[in-house]
Structure 1
Amino acid sequence: MDKLIDSIMEKLLSDGYVREDEAEIVRFGLELNIMKVLISSAMLIAAVIFGSTPAALVFMAVYPPLRSCCGGYHAKTRTACFILSMAAMSSVIAASRLMPARASLYAAAAMYAAGLLCIILLAPVESRNKPFDDKERRVFRRRSLIAAAISAAVIAVLFLFKAHRLMTAAAMAVFFTGIMLPAGIFSNRKGALK
């Protein structure tokens, strides 16, 4: 992936689209977007292979906005990021394929409650790459709560349509976002001790 990013950056710099003083931030954004495309593609391919496309799409619609607003733990390497993302999607696929509809209703309620509690108590959690000043913390706090409210609305609509497995996928997005918050706090403290 580094070779691809290097060649894109070289082209952007030589054609004058990016100045030298902007190169580092543009490179970071480019790397981030390429990783998002790769992870999303891998998730969709896995979902199609295992016949869980609707659940994957619901998860992918709810999880990224929540994570970008709430923050939390971020893997230190691309490989670790990919593995964590695929582990989350694997659990969504497994739940949508293996969990009985009635059980998924209770699981969704428990996961949503746990994730929402973490979001309410802890969000937003900054990372090494995204530290907050006081104003940003207030803005992201508000965004986190709005994103959580939107996810609640999505879950409520899915419940009304008795789409329990899809509701579980949305609840898992809230849950995974929620558990990334204390993990991020721990990771930040651990990093500060070094």
Structure 2
Amino acid sequence: MIERLAEKITRFIYRNTTNDSEMFEVYKYGVEITISSFLNISLILLCSLVISDILAGIAFLISFIILRSFTGGYHAKTYFMCNGLFVLTFLIVYAINCLLNMLSLPFRVLEMLVLLNCMPIILFAPIENKQKRLDEQKKKNLRIKAVITFIIISVAALALCFFNNKYGTLVIITTSAVSVMIVIEILRKRRNKI
């Protein structure tokens, strides 16, 4: 569905702007990503409205999208799977957040979780995919940005947790999800090489 809609939009843009046939696929991919991203954001906001916690959806989206833009991670094979996995990730993060807030975890446990989350980012980020090849300099720059972004997000989340704000825990769990997706993609790539 997204591919067909992107094809139609791209043909419209292509007819009204340029006739560079080499750029058609680039435009089409850009339109596909834009549509899929808009759909992902809309689905998360809809889910957060349904569970009556719009701030949870916003906190998840901000922390996930910003961190993931520098780290990369698991990529689903279809847009449908991507959208479904993104919603499932949010719902799992939200459920774990509710559980952890009920348990009132000690602050030290949250600090340990942050330290655990940083390991895949430091060791493996950024993760390449077939649509986004990176040279060594770009990898180095993205790794630095990923680590700095992770530190900023984590410090903000820990500060929220220190003041007993439930969204701090949600942001930490969101960074856990990003870290897990990095590990999943690394394992998937290694398995495919065997």
TM-score scaled by length of structure 2 = 0.88
Alignment of 1:138 with 2:140, yes or no, is yes
Q: How far apart, CA to CA, are the structure 1 residues paired with 2:79 and 2:96?
A: 26
Instruction: Give the structure 2 partner of residue 52 of structure 1.
Output: 53
Deviation at 1:8, TM superposition (A): 0.6
Unaligned residue ranges in structure 1 (runs of 5+): none
| Residues 24/9 of structure 1: CA separation in 2 closer, same or farther (3 Å cut) | same
State the distance in 2 between where 1:88 and 1:110 align: 21
Distance 1:145 1:29 in 2: 27
Task: Give the C-alpha shift of residue 159 in structure 1.
Answer: 2.5
Is 2:108 aligned against 1:114?
no
- Quote the residue 1:178 is aligned against: 179
Q: Is 1:76 aligned to 2:73, yes or no?
A: no
1:3 shift after superposition: 2.7
> Shift in Å at residue 110 of structure 1?
4.8
Partner in structure 1 of residue 149 of structure 2: 147
Deviations 1:113-157 (A, max 9, x none): 321122122222212222221111111111111111111232133
Residue 188 of structure 1 deviates from its aligned partner by: 2.1
Question: 1:5 deviation in Å?
Answer: 1.2
- Are the equivalent residues in 1 in contact too, given 2:110–2:158 (CA < 8 A)? no
Match of 2:36 in 1: 35
| Residues 97 and 173 in structure 2, CA contact (< 8 A), matched pair in contact too | no
SS in 1 for 2:104: helix
- Equivalences, count: 192
TM-score calculated relative to the size of structure 1: 0.88
Distance 1:105 1:46, change over 3 A: farther
CA–CA distance in 1 between the matches of 2:192 and 2:115? 29
> Which of 160, 163, 166 is equivalent to 1:161?
163
Say if 2:111 and 2:158, in contact at 8 Å, map to a contact too: no
Kindly provide the amino acid, as one letter, of the partner of residue 187 in structure 2.
Answer: F
Q: CA RMSD in A?
A: 2.1
What is the distance in 1 between the residues matched to 2:129 and 2:109?
Answer: 30
Indicate how the Cα distance of structure 1 residues 51 and 132 shifts in structure 2: closer, same or farther if over 3 A, else same: same
Q: Is the 8 A contact 2:44 2:57 kept in 1?
A: yes
* Partners of 1:92 and 1:169 within 8 A in 2: yes
The answer to whether the 8 A contact 1:58-1:170 is kept is yes
